[in-house]
């Protein structure tokens, strides 16, 4: 049987949402930025809810690169840590999303500054 999806659809974080909102739909909307994309949430949503309304994962593990979507949802397991674009760590399950918040699901590894091999003594 032929599939209509490409292999890249299986790993794309935006292919479908993990959560579907079925209640509390009348709260005020707001916008935040997820990996540079402007997306919507509702006032009172946790960051975890807001992100999983957009995609299937909260972040990629900094150790294995595997997708993570939170585990305990009460702030105990540390599986939902995210970073803002300026590097601040946020626990997605207990942080309320705010208008204009800019968060990342992937942290690019830091690169070491290039070493100078000029041979000049100082």
Q: What's the pLDDT tens digit per position in 16-68?
A: 888 889 999 999 999 999 999 999 999 999 999 999 999 988 888 888 888 88
Closest CA to 81 of 109, 44, 51, 55: 51
Q: Which residue has the higher pLDDT, 37 or 14?
A: 37
| pLDDT surpasses 90 at 7 | no
Over residues 80-120, the pLDDT tens digits come to 999 999 999 999 999 999 999 999 998 765 554 555 555 55
Closest CA to 34 of 58, 67, 10, 17: 58
Per-domain residue ranges for the chain? 13-19+28-104
Does domain 13-19+28-104 bear CATH number 3.10.20.440?
yes
pLDDT at 5: 39
Q: Which two tokens stand for residue 63?
A: 């150790």
pLDDT at 35: 95
Ranking 15-19, 67-71, 72-76, 118-122 by mean pLDDT, the lowest is 118-122
Contacts of 61 by beta carbon, 8 Å cutoff, 6+ apart: 67, 68
Distance separating alpha carbons of residues 19 and 54, to the nearest angstrom: 8
pLDDT at 118: 53
């Amino acid at each position: 049987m032929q599939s209509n999806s490409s292999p890249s659809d299986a790993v794309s974080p935006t292919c479908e949402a993990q959560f579907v909102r079925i209640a509390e739909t009348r709260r005020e909307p707001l916008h935040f930025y997820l990996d540079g994309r402007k997306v919507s949430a509702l006032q009172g949503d946790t960051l975890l809810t807001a992100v999983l309304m957009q995609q299937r994962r909260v972040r990629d593990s900094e150790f294995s690169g595997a997708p993570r979507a939170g585990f305990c949802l009460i702030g105990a397991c540390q599986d939902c840590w995210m970073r803002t674009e300026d590097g601040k760590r946020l626990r997605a399950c207990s942080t309320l999303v705010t208008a204009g918040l800019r968060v990342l699901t992937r942290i690019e590894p830091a690169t070491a500054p290039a070493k100078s091999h000029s041979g000049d003594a100082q």
